[in-house]
């Protein structure tokens, strides 16, 4: 946040650098079940962001001493490909990706019925193949679809989106330059059905009124994103249900 | 209830609008409502509403017959992969032979495939299996292929129609484990065709006309025609 | 959980191959369906996504300016790395690259380096001081066998659409990376006495040995790698080389125009 710059992020017509209105999302597309080896997967594009998420499990957690005898451990690994950003990123975890992995794991643990799988691991691998601001929200949104795709028992799905402040205005879903030169960023994730917050971070400078406005924008967008998530799963599996009643075990 | 509604794909967190039903597999109850906890379609059995999961690993059920592969052994047990979250345990007392302590390897070795029954699943999801009932055995020839556990009913077909057809045309012995593993044994050509047919059943998106399409495939590949006899 | 393949299934696969058949009905020297989408990653200087059957890889190229090695003061530097990320297979684990990843990266690297795909002297900016560094990063998304060919083809395709980011370093306008040769690998697996091209996972797992042959457009061999503990006869090696040239020709044709393809 807050690199000093003369760059103007909102023009005289109230439009942003990429022509979006203040409450407009970048284009989001999701495909479910795209990988063969993983138990579940999702590929998501969000503006220029490209994110692949894969789920393995529930499976035996190694090493054994890390097992929890009363519930499964949800382990998300957020990783950025070396070529995903403008300056090559050195492979392997850094402090930022370790923190994001932790927050994503915790957010997902909230919706997974972890108590059904004592001693197990639910592994969520998220690869950011191209990054252009908002990757943690993209990652969590894709991970949630991949979990459902893996048939993991869960109470709900999670959708995630950020809002922020640029040129003194609260706007939705910051793009790369807005992220670099804006005044605040608020990544948020919710359970859309229950309106509960599962991830929240903030950096920058906001009044409480501005924060309320940012949260309202992000929540509204999460509900839109939830529909995109649902559509991805339905598109992928609805056709395989045709004629399903032929095999059904009715009484 | 109409078929359209019945076929609807539910997602985790979707409310299941049914009255007088108890929450079964793949569902959960919160306050007064029942919700889906897995991606799937709802089915009914004995007063329970269930979600037939479309995806996911095999969820072991007591009494299921499954095909396992031995991954490890010690003097008194075998560890068996059954395509579930955890390996299942086969104890020397639950096999059809009297096995001396430490002699497990002479009977079943790592890499062997076995046809077993789930005898118990405890609260910690520890799975025990047995091999000492009729029909359960070590599989000494043929091959194992794997499909999604959710596709098992398709391969079996209504009242076993699909599987019977596969056996007739290919001349193979076939057993479909509830865990999505299928054992196929017969001559090389028969096995090859049977595998192709199973892949076809799994890949064909629509079940409508599936039986006919598979039959046509089997006729072409084997040059046989059982329609006259039926 | 490690994936395991039962003894009886292995035996069936052997018998099938001995009978001249493959599990997916391919001919012994037939590739799986190959899809290449070049320029897939906008943030990279060059990139390609390659699907070879269900094997799915992404190769990205990043360039930087740095110092040359003291013994080659007028040559640019190519650094190739592969990550067998745990997304791609239940058998891969997080952490530093394992032997397999290192071998993969080095085999791809040798084809590109020894094949003079990029003339290293053209990457010199100021002798002894400043040269271009080319980072080739290979990311495996889905592993269904034969990473050597998928990654080698991906790296070649990515280099072919790389734009040198000169402007970013005040070195004039961006320009396409000059490509001198088009090198493609072809990998053969030997299962008992049968040799086949482009093994998928099940085939790879029962392979006794493996041979990768990288050729250029002149039909010359530029890099080879024999892997695993089994053995080849002299004639088998000659046969693989012969096939490699034929298949290489076909693959070079594919690489010539990939920008329209979508995965």
**What is the rounded distance in angstroms from the CA atom of residue B83 to the CA atom of residue B69?**
9
- What is the reported pLDDT for B207? 60
The minimal CB distance from C60 to the residues A48, A56, A81 is found for A81
Contact B112 C6 (CB under 8 A): yes
Q: Taking CA atoms, what residue in B is nearest to A234? A: B9
The minimal CB distance from B139 to the residues C8, C15, C19 is found for C8
Is there a domain that residue A1 lies in?
Answer: no
Cβ atoms A144, A95 nearer than 8 A: no
Is the peptide bond preceding residue A63 cis, with omega within 30 degrees of 0?
Answer: yes
Provide the number of structural domains found in chain C.
1
What is the average pLDDT value for chain C, to the nearest integer? Answer: 94
pLDDT reading at C119 higher than 60: yes
DSSP state of A49: E
Q: Kindly state whether A148 is in contact with chain B, defined as any CB-CB distance less than 8 angstroms.
A: yes
- What is the reported pLDDT for C260? 66
Is there a domain that residue A180 lies in?
Answer: yes
What residues of chain A lie within 8 A of the CB of B86, using their CB? Answer: 59-60, 119-120
pLDDT in tens, chain B (230 residues): 444 445 789 999 999 987 788 999 999 999 889 999 999 988 888 899 999 898 999 999 999 999 999 999 999 999 999 999 999 999 999 999 999 998 999 999 999 999 999 999 998 889 999 999 999 999 999 999 999 998 898 899 888 999 999 999 999 999 999 999 999 999 999 999 999 999 999 887 566 678 888 999 999 999 888 876 54
Is there a domain that residue C234 lies in?
Answer: yes
pLDDT reading at A249 higher than 50: no
CATH 3.30.1370.10 placement within chain B: 143-222
Cβ atoms B70, B112 nearer than 8 A: yes
Angle C215-C218-C224 from CA coordinates, rounded to 5°: 20
More confident residue, A8 or C260: A8
pLDDT reading at A185 higher than 90: yes
Cβ atoms B82, C6 nearer than 8 A: no
Is there a domain that residue C43 lies in?
Answer: yes
A194-203, A233-242, B153-162: least confident range: A233-242
Contact C81 A82 (CB under 8 A): yes
- What is the reported pLDDT for C256? 86
CATH class of the structural domain B65-139: mainly beta
What is the average pLDDT value for chain A, to the nearest integer? Answer: 93
pLDDT reading at A250 higher than 60: no
Report residue B91: phi and psi, to 5°.
-95, 150
| Position A186 confidence tier, pLDDT thresholds 50, 70, 90 | very high
Is there a domain that residue C196 lies in?
Answer: yes
* B143-222 CATH pick, 3.30.1370.10, 3.40.50.11610, 1.10.472.10, 3.30.565.10: 3.30.1370.10
**What is the rounded distance in angstroms from the CA atom of residue C174 to the CA atom of residue A221?**
38
pLDDT reading at C207 higher than 90: yes
- What is the reported pLDDT for A5? 64
**Chain A, chain C: beta-carbon pairs less than 8 Å apart:** 85
State the CATH number of the domain containing residue C233.
3.30.230.70
Q: Read off the pLDDT of residues A28-83 as tens digits, 9 standing for 90 and up.
A: 999 999 999 999 999 999 999 999 999 999 999 988 899 999 999 999 999 999 99
- What is the reported pLDDT for A1? 61
Contacts of B62 (CB under 8 A, 6+ apart): B118, B119, B120, B121
- What is the reported pLDDT for B4? 43
In SS3 terms, chain B reads as CCHHHHCCCECCCCEECCCCCEECCCEEEECCEEEECCCEEEEEECCEEEEEECCCCCCCCCCCEEEEEEEEECCCEEEEECCCCCCEEEEHHHCCCCCCCCCHHHCCCCCCEEEEEEEEECCCCCEEEECCCCCCEEECCCEEEECCHHHHHHHHCHHHHHHHHHHHHHCCEEEECCCCEEEEECCHHHHHHHHHHHHHHHHCCCCCCHHHHHHHHHHHHHCCCCCCCC
| Position C141 confidence tier, pLDDT thresholds 50, 70, 90 | very high
List the single best residue of A244, A249, A251 to mutate versus B (max B Cβ within 10 A).
Answer: A244
pLDDT, average across residues A168-190: 96
Is there a domain that residue C7 lies in?
Answer: no
Cβ atoms B83, B179 nearer than 8 A: yes
pLDDT reading at A239 higher than 90: no
pLDDT reading at A251 higher than 60: no
The minimal CB distance from A129 to the residues C41, C61, C62 is found for C41
Is there a domain that residue A21 lies in?
Answer: no
Domain of C80 in residue numbering reads as: 28-256
Provide the number of structural domains found in chain A.
1
What residues of chain B lie within 8 A of the CB of A152, using their CB? Answer: 38, 56
What residues of chain B lie within 8 A of the CB of A241, using their CB? Answer: 7, 9, 41, 54
Q: What residues pair up with B127 in beta bridges, in sequence order?
A: B88, B121
Q: Taking CA atoms, what residue in A is nearest to C137? A: A82
pLDDT reading at C206 higher than 70: yes
Structural element, H or E, at residue C175? strand C175-176
Fold of B3-53: OB fold (Dihydrolipoamide Acetyltransferase, E2P) (2.40.50)
Chains adjacent to B (≥3 CB pairs closer than 8 angstroms)? A, C
Is there a domain that residue A10 lies in?
Answer: no
Cβ atoms A56, A96 nearer than 8 A: no
List the single best residue of A151, A190, A229 to mutate versus B (max B Cβ within 10 A).
Answer: A151
State the CATH number of the domain containing residue A41.
3.30.230.70
What residues of chain C lie within 8 A of the CB of B142, using their CB? Answer: 8, 12
Is there a domain that residue C12 lies in?
Answer: no
Domain of A45 in residue numbering reads as: 28-236
Q: Over the Cα atoms of chain A, what is R_g?
A: 19
What residues of chain B lie within 8 A of the CB of A242, using their CB? Answer: 7, 205-208
The minimal CB distance from C85 to the residues A85, A127, A132 is found for A127
Q: Read off the pLDDT of residues C217-256 as tens digits, 9 standing for 90 and up.
A: 999 999 999 999 999 999 999 999 999 999 999 999 999 8
Positive or negative: CA dihedral A130, A134, A135, A137 = negative
Is the peptide bond preceding residue A55 cis, with omega within 30 degrees of 0?
Answer: no
List the single best residue of A62, A67, A153 to mutate versus B (max B Cβ within 10 A).
Answer: A153
Q: Kindly state whether A227 is in contact with chain B, defined as any CB-CB distance less than 8 angstroms.
A: no
Report residue A53: phi and psi, to 5°.
-125, 140
Is there a domain that residue A243 lies in?
Answer: no
**What is the rounded distance in angstroms from the CA atom of residue B145 to the CA atom of residue C240?**
31
Strand duo C55-66 + B88-91: pairing: unpaired
**What is the rounded distance in angstroms from the CA atom of residue C33 to the CA atom of residue A102?**
39
Cβ atoms B79, B72 nearer than 8 A: yes
């Amino acid at each position: 946040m807050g690199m000093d710059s003369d760059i103007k992020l909102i023009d005289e017509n109230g439009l942003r650098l990429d022509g979006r209105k203040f409450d407009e999302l970048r284009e989001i597309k999701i495909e479910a079940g795209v990988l063969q080896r993983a138990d579940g997967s999702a590929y998501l594009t969000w503006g220029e962001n490209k994110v692949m998420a894969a789920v393995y499990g529930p499976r035996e957690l190694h090493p054994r001493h890390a097992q929890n005898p009363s519930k499964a451990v949800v382990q998300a690994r957020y990783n950025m490909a070396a070529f995903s950003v403008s300056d090559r990123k050195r492979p392997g975890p850094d402090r930022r990706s370790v923190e994001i992995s932790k927050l994503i794991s915790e957010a997902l643990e909230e919706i997974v019925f972890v108590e059904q799988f004592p001693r197990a691991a639910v592994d969520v691998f998220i690869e950011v193949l191209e990054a252009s601001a908002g990757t943690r929200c993209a990652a969590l949104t894709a991970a949630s679809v991949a979990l459902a795709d893996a048939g993991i028992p869960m109470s709900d799905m999670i959708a995630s989106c950020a809002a922020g402040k640029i040129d003194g205005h609260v706007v939705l879903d910051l793009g790369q330059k807005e992220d670099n030169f804006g005044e605040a960023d608020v990544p948020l994730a919710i359970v859309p059905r229950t309106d509960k917050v599962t991830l929240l971070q903030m950096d920058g400078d906001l009044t409480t009124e501005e924060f309320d406005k940012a949260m309202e924008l992000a929540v509204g967008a999460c509900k839109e994103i939830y529909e995109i998530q649902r559509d991805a799963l339905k598109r992928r599996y609805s056709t395989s249900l045709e004629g399903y009643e032929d095999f059904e075990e009715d009484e | 209830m109409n078929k359209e509604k019945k076929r609807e794909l539910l997602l985790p967190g979707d409310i299941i609008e049914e009255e007088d039903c108890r929450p079964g597999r793949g569902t959960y109850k919160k306050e007064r409502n029942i919700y889906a906890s897995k991606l799937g379609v709802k089915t009914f059995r004995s007063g329970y509403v269930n979600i037939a999961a479309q995806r996911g690993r095999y969820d072991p059920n007591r009494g299921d017959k499954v095909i396992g592969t031995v991954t490890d052994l010690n003097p008194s047990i075998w560890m068996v992969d059954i395509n579930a979250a955890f390996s299942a345990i086969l104890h020397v007392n639950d096999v059809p032979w009297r096995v001396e302590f430490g002699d497990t390897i002479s009977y079943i070795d790592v890499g062997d495939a076995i046809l077993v029954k789930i005898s118990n699943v405890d609260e910690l999801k520890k799975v025990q299996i047995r091999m000492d009932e009729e029909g359960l055995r070590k599989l000494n020839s043929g091959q194992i292929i794997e499909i999604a556990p959710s596709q098992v009913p398709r391969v079996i077909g209504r009242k076993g129609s699909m599987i019977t057809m596969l056996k007739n045309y290919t001349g193979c012995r076939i057993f479909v484990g509830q865990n999505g593993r299928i054992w196929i044994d017969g001559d090389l050509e028969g096995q090859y065709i049977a595998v192709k047919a199973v892949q076809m059943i799994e890949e064909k998106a629509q079940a409508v006309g599936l039986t006919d399409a598979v039959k046509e495939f089997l006729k072409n590949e084997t040059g046989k025609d059982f329609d006259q006899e039926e | 959980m490690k994936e395991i393949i039962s003894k009886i299934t292995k035996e069936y696969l052997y018998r099938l191959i001995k009978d001249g058949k493959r599990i997916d009905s391919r001919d012994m020297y037939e590739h799986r369906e190959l899809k290449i989408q070049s320029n897939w990653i906008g943030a990279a200087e060059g990139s390609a996504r390659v699907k070879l059957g269900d094997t799915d890889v992404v190769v990205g190229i990043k360039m930087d300016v740095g110092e040359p090695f003291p013994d080659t003061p007028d040559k640019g530097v190519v650094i190739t790395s592969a990550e067998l990320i745990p997304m791609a297979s239940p058998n891969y684990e997080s952490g530093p690259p394992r032997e397999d990843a290192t071998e993969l990266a080095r085999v791809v690297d040798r084809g590109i380096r020894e094949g003079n795909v990029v003339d290293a002297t053209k990457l010199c900016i100021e002798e002894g001081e400043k040269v271009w560094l080319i980072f080739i990063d290979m990311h495996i998304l889905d592993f269904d066998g034969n990473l050597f060919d998928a990654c080698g083809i991906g790296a070649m395709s990515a280099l072919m659409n790389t734009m040198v980011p000169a402007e970013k370093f005040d070195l004039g306008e961006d320009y396409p990376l000059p490509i001198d040769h088009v090198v493609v690998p072809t990998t053969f697996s030997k299962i008992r006495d049968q040799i086949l091209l482009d093994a998928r996972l099940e085939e790879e797992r029962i392979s006794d040995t493996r041979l990768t042959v990288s050729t250029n457009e002149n039909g010359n061999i530029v890099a080879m790698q024999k892997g695993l503990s089994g053995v080849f006869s002299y004639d088998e090696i000659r046969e693989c080389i012969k096939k490699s040239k034929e298949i290489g020709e076909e693959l070079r044709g594919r690489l010539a125009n990939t920008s329209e393809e979508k995965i």
